C-alpha cells in the first residue's frame, strides 16, 4: 500500500538462496490518490521457500526508499505499508503487517512420521508376540488349520519326512545364499532407492526434497551418489566371487559390456524425460541420463577392477600390511588420479566463449547477471558442443532461482568423470569388506578412517562454506567436493547399517532390503508408471502439501510392497 504522492514505486525482490543475484522486478505500485485519500495498491505472490529481500524505490530516479528482509510463510497474507513519517525531512517508513497468519506447512510431515512410526510399532509388537509359542500356534490354527498340521509334523516328525525334504531343495539353497550375502549392502542400496523414488515423485512439494538450485545440498542431492557408491561396492564383491567360482576374465568382461549396454539403452529409450516434448525422435532425444551414467560408470570401474583383481583376496604379504587394500592396486589409483586431473584441467583451464575461465556458476541472474549464458562453465560448454542443446536436459534446477535459460544436463559428460571417482571409492569399501572378512571391527575402523579423510578433504575444498570455497559442493557439476562429501556420508552410513544389520543383527534391513534387491526394476518401474493410478491421481487441491505428501508416500510405499512381494516369490530382475 503506497500512501506517498506521485511518482509511483517499483517493488523488486531477491531470494536469499540466490547468490550474488540481481533484484527481480515484481510490481509497479501506483501513487496514492490524495483527493480521494486512497492509497495506491498492488498485489503480488512471493516465494516462501527462502528468505526474501524486498527493495522499494521510486519509479523516477531509482531512489531507494527501503529494503526489508523477511521470510514469508505459506498462504500468509501480508501488507507492506509505505508512508511519510515527516513531510519536512521526507522520511519514509515501510511497515510489514501480517493480515492473515501463514499455515504450518510442516504438520503433514509430522503426521506422516507418526503414522509410519505407528505402523512400525504394530509390526514390531506383532513380531514379538509371534515368538510366544501359544500365540503363534493360535494364529496359525486360525489362519490355516492345514498349515498347523504341517508345522506339527515338521516339529514332531511325520511318515513323509523324506518326501518333504526332497520335494523342493531350493529353499535350503536360498537360505544358505542369504546367510552369505551382506544384507547391509542391499539395505543401503534400498534406502537410497526409496528416497530417490520419493523425491522423484515430488517429495510432497517441499523445497528440501527438491534438488538444490546450484551450490549446496538438499535431501534429493544425497541419493544418486550413494547409489553410485554402493554400485562400486557391489562390483568388488561380485567380480571376486565370479572369479573364485572359476569364470574366466573374458567371460566376466562380456557380462560387464552387456550390462553396461543394456543400462544405457534403457536410459535412452525407456527412461527419457524428453518424452514430455512429444514422441521421441532423434531431434529431441536426451542422450545423457541417470541410467546412462550408471551404465558407463559401471563399465569403467568394473573393467578397471577386472584388470587388477585377484581370485584369491587373501592377506597381502608386503610392506605396510595396514594398506593391503590399497597398495596392490596402485595402478588403479594412478588411473583415477589421472581422470581427476583431466576433470580439473578441463574445468578450470578450458576456454569457454564469452565466459571467464574456470567459471563454476549458474549463469542467468547469478553473479549480478554478468554471465547469463555460462551455466555450468566448461561442463555445460562441452555438452552443448558435443551433444547439442536439444539432446540435453531442458529444465535444469538453476532455471528456477537463477532464471538460466540455456539447457544444462546434470548427468553430462564432464561430471561422469567424478561419478567414476565416486564409484571407485565405493569399490574401495567393497575391497575393505573382502580383505577384512570375518573381522567386523577392522572393517568398521576402515570405514571410519575413510569417512574422516573424505570429510577433511571436503572441508579444505569448500572452506566449510556453501559459496566461498575453492570448489563448492555442487550436484549439477558433480564437483570433486560433492564427491568427497557424499563419500564421507556414504562411509559413515554404510558403517551404521553394517553394524546394525550384519554385525549385531539388531535389524533385518526391512523394508529397504526388498527394493535394494530389485533396484533396477523399481527404478525403471517408478519412472514408467509415474503418471498411472494408483501411483498418481487427480488431487482436490494442487497447492496442498498434505495431498502431495500423501500421494508421493503412497506411491513410494507401493513400490516397497511390490518389491517385498517379488522378494517373497524370489523374483529378481538382474541385468
Residue 522 pLDDT greater than 90, yes or no? yes
For cell 529444465, name the residue: 395
Q: How far is CA 352 from CA 358, 371, 407, 478, in A?
A: 9, 11, 16, 19
Q: What's the pLDDT tens digit per position in 399-424? A: 889 999 999 999 999 999 999 999 99
pLDDT attached to residue 153:
44
Binning pLDDT at 50, 70 and 90, where does residue 63 land? confident
Q: How far apart are CA 276 and CA 435, in angstroms?
A: 48
Residues of the chain above pLDDT 90, percent: 61
pLDDT attached to residue 162:
36
Q: What's the pLDDT tens digit per position in 482-514? A: 999 999 999 999 999 999 999 999 998 989 999
CA 351, 353, 354, 355 dihedral sign is negative
Q: What's the pLDDT tens digit per position in 277-291? A: 556 677 788 899 999
Mean pLDDT within 469-486: 96
Q: How far apart are CA 192 and CA 300, in angstroms?
A: 22
pLDDT attached to residue 164:
33
Mean pLDDT within 209-216: 92
Secondary structure (DSSP) of 374-396: -TTTHHHHHHHHHT-GGGS-SS-
Residue 59 pLDDT greater than 90, yes or no? no
Q: How far apart are CA 222 and CA 79, in angstroms?
A: 38
Q: What's the pLDDT tens digit per position in 79-128? A: 999 888 766 656 788 899 999 999 999 999 999 999 999 999 998 898 88
Q: Is-above-0.85 flag for pTM?
A: yes
- The candidate with the shortest Cα–Cα distance to 186, out of 572, 525, 561, is 572
Q: Which residues are catalytic?
A: 211
- How many other β-carbons are positioned within 10 Å of the β-carbon of residue 398? 26
Mean pLDDT within 237-256: 87
Q: What's the pLDDT tens digit per position in 338-373? A: 999 999 999 999 999 999 999 999 999 999 999 999
Q: How far apart are CA 562 and CA 558, in angstroms?
A: 6
Cis link prior to 7 (omega < 30° from 0)? Answer: yes
For cell 557380462, name the residue: 255
Give the list of residues 6+ apart from residue 565 with CB closer than 8 angstroms, or none. none
Binning pLDDT at 50, 70 and 90, where does residue 35 land? confident
Q: How far apart are CA 225 and CA 168, in angstroms?
A: 41
Biggest distance spanned by C-alpha atoms of the chain: 109
Rounded to 5 degrees, φ, ψ at 96 are: -95, 120
Give the list of residues 6+ apart from residue 171 with CB closer than 8 angstroms, or none. none
Q: How far apart are CA 155 and CA 230, in angstroms?
A: 41
For residues 455 and 163, the model is more confident at 455
- How many other β-carbons are positioned within 10 Å of the β-carbon of residue 355? 21
For residues 317 and 141, the model is more confident at 141
Which SS3 state, helix, strand or coil, does residue 15 take? Answer: strand
**By the 8 A CB rule, do 189 and 223 touch?**
no
Amino acid at each position: 500500500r503506497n500512501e506517498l504522492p506521485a511518482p509511483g514505486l517499483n517493488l523488486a525482490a531477491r531470494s536469499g538462496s540466490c547468490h550474488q543475484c540481481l533484484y527481480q522486478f515484481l510490481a509497479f505500485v501506483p501513487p496514492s490518490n490524495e483527493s480521494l485519500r486512497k492509497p495506491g495498491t498492488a498485489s503480488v505472490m512471493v516465494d516462501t521457500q527462502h528468505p526474501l529481500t524486498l527493495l522499494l524505490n521510486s519509479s523516477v530516479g531509482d531512489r531507494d526508499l527501503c529494503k526489508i528482509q523477511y521470510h514469508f510463510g505459506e498462504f500468509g497474507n501480508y501488507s507492506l505499508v509505505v508512508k511519510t513519517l515527516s513531510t519536512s525531512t521526507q522520511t519514509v517508513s515501510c511497515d510489514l503487517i501480517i493480515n492473515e497468519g501463514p499455515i504450518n506447512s510442516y504438520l503433514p510431515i509430522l503426521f506422516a512420521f507418526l503414522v509410519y512410526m505407528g505402523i512400525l510399532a504394530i509390526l514390531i509388537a506383532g513380531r514379538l508376540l509371534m515368538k510366544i509359542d501359544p500365540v503363534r500356534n493360535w494364529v496359525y490354527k486360525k489362519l490355516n488349520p492345514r498349515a498347523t498340521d504341517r508345522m506339527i509334523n515338521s516339529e514332531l516328525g511325520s511318515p513323509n519326512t523324506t518326501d518333504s525334504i526332497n520335494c523342493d531343495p531350493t529353499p535350503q539353497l536360498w537360505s544358505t545364499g542369504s546367510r552369505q550375502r551382506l544384507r547391509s549392502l542391499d539395505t543401503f542400496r534400498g534406502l537410497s532407492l526409496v528416497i530417490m523414488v520419493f523425491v522423484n515423485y515430488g517429495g510432497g512439494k517441499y523445497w528440501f526434497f527438491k534438488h538444490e538450485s546450484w551450490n549446496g545440498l538438499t535431501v534429493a542431492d544425497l541419493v544418486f551418489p550413494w547409489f553410485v557408491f554402493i554400485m562400486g561396492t557391489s562390483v568388488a564383491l561380485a567380480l571376486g566371487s565370479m572369479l573364485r567360482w572359476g569364470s574366466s576374465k573374458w567371460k566376466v568382461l562380456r557380462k560387464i559390456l552387456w550390462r553396461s549396454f543394456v543400462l544405457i539403452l534403457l536410459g535412452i529409450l525407456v527412461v527419457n524425460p524428453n518424452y514430455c516434448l512429444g514422441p521421441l525422435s532423434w531431434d529431441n532425444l536426451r542422450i545423457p541420463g541417470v541410467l546412462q551414467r550408471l551404465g558407463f560408470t559401471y563399465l569403467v570401474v568394473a573393467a578397471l577392477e577386472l584388470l587388477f583383481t585377484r581370485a584369491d583376496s587373501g592377506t597381502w604379504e608386503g610392506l605396510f600390511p595396514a594398506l593391503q587394500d590399497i597398495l596392490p592396486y596402485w595402478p588403479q589409483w594412478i588411473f583415477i588420479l589421472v581422470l581427476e586431473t583431466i576433470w580439473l584441467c578441463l574445468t578450470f583451464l578450458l576456454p569457454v566463449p564469452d565466459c571467464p575461465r574456470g567459471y563454476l556458476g549458474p549463469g542467468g541472474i547469478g553473479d549480478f547477471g554478468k554471465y547469463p549464458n555460462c551455466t555450468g562453465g566448461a561442463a555445460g560448454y562441452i555438452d552443448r558442443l558435443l551433444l547439442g542443446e536439444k539432446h540435453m536436459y531442458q529444465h535444469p534446477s538453476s532455471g528456477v532461482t537463477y532464471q538460466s535459460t540455456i539447457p544444462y544436463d546434470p548427468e553430462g559428460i564432464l561430471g561422469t568423470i567424478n561419478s567414476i571417482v565416486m564409484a571407485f571409492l565405493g569399490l574401495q569399501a567393497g575391497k575393505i569388506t573382502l580383505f577384512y572378512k570375518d573381522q567386523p571391527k577392522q572393517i568398521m575402523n576402515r570405514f571410519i578412517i575413510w569417512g574422516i579423510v573424505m570429510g577433511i578433504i571436503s572441508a579444505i575444498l569448500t572452506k566449510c562454506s556453501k559459496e566461498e570455497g575453492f570448489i563448492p559442493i555442487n550436484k549439477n557439476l558433480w564437483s570433486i567436493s560433492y564427491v568427497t562429501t557424499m563419500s564421507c556420508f556414504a562411509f559413515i552410513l554404510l558403517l551404521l547399517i553394517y553394524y546394525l544389520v550384519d554385525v549385531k543383527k539388531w535389524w533385518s534391513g526391512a523394508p529397504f532390503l526388498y527394493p535394494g534387491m530389485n533396484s533396477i526394476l523399481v527404478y525403471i518401474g517408478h519412472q514408467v508408471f509415474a503418471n498411472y493410478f494408483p501411483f498418481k491421481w487427480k488431487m482436490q487441491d494442487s497447492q496442498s502439501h498434505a495431498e502431495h505428501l500423501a500421494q508421493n508416500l503412497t506411491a513410494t510405499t507401493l513400490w516397497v510392497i511390490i518389491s517385498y512381494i517379488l522378494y517373497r516369490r524370489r523374483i529378481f530382475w538382474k541385468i
